[in-house]
Amino acid sequence: MSKKIAWVIVVLLLAAIGGLAYLYWNQRTELTELVEQMTIEKEELQEEYEDLAIQFDGYQQMDIKNDSLQDLLSREQQRVQDLLEELRQTKASNARRIAELKKELATVRAVMKDYVRQIDSLNATNARLTEENQIVRRENQQVKEQNSQLSTINSQLTETVTRASMLEITSCTLSMLNKNDKKTKMASNVRKFQFDYVIAKNITCTPGMKNLYVRVMDPQGNLMAESETKVFEFESGEIPYSMMQQIEYSGEAYNGTCFCALADKEEVLKGFYTIDFFCDGNLIGSFPFQPKK
């Protein structure tokens, strides 16, 4: 082999080695940049998880008078802690798992938004009922004094009812009816609201005939009722109701329907209505609804 050919081969090998070295350096630089970017994304995602965990801690400090909602909040709070711990242990180079954890964060946030809505609804309902009770107590002080013995007996009976025996309405759906009691979607034709509700199964509740009291409030905070003289006892006071039903509860799930008629010439208002259900002296369900115009 001549020296000329040998030099050509050497030059080609050096060029090939240089090309490979450049590709290796370029790929290593891109990989380093990618890892740095994923590290930043991981740190940002970790901060978002930590902020969400703090929000859950704040809601756990609130007095939420709903055991089911409290349990759901606790489970979601633990879920956030578990995901945060997993994120801390996940390497920044594991882009696939970090992306999955980011989707999990969006899911938890959506669930939390729904829980916040329920908490706000319960707080608003309890605040409104407490204010109404204070007014009713002042107006009926004389009547309460005359019936103090009966109130004492009722208080003793109420104390014997455990939380486990309370009824709970798990769902309530709205239908709008016209003057012929036919379903309609046009608010201008509505003369009556129909509510289809479900009482959950509860074998610890004493079966038998029960009075179910229903209150429907319009968006302006007015009670929809034929007469405000019809009242029932709640939290050591008396408050008016929209309608009352007698139901026979056997301990199994119960499907019921109740109606609330609009007054003559009354129109459906824009905004949220609220329907509250009471039984055995307890608020057993509260649902906001908004009739579509």
Tens-place pLDDT, residues 198-241: 999 998 888 999 999 999 999 999 999 877 789 999 988 999 99
| Tokens, residue 236 | 């050591």
> Hunting for tokens 């706000």 — which residue is that?
120
Domain residue spans of the chain: 3-120, 163-289
Of the pLDDT bands very low, low, confident and very high (cuts 50, 70, 90), residue 164 is: low
As a whole number of angstroms, the distance between CA 267 and CA 224 comes to 12
Q: Give Dmax over CA atoms of the chain in angstroms.
A: 127
| pLDDT digits 0-9 by tens, 20-76 | 665 655 555 555 555 566 677 677 766 776 777 777 666 666 666 666 766 766 777
As a whole number of angstroms, the distance between CA 254 and CA 208 comes to 12
| Tokens, residue 106 | 């969006």
Q: Give the contacts of 224 (CB within 8 A, at least 6 positions apart).
A: 216, 217, 218, 242, 260, 262
Number of residues in the chain:
293
**Closest C-alpha to 187, from 291, 259, 288, 266:** 291
As a whole number of angstroms, the distance between CA 125 and CA 275 comes to 10
Question: For residue 66, what pLDDT is reported?
Answer: 65
As a whole number of angstroms, the distance between CA 134 and CA 239 comes to 10
- Alpha-helical segments (H) within the chain: 3-60, 67-89, 95-139, 141-146, 148-160
Q: Is the pLDDT of residue 86 over 90?
A: no
Question: For residue 116, what pLDDT is reported?
Answer: 66
**Closest C-alpha to 124, from 65, 197, 71:** 65
As a whole number of angstroms, the distance between CA 22 and CA 147 comes to 95
Fold of 163-289: Immunoglobulin-like (2.60.40)
| pLDDT digits 0-9 by tens, 238-266 | 999 999 999 999 999 999 999 999 988 88
Pairing of strands 254-261, 273-279: unpaired
Task: Flag the least confident range among 144-148, 168-172, 198-202, 208-212.
Answer: 144-148
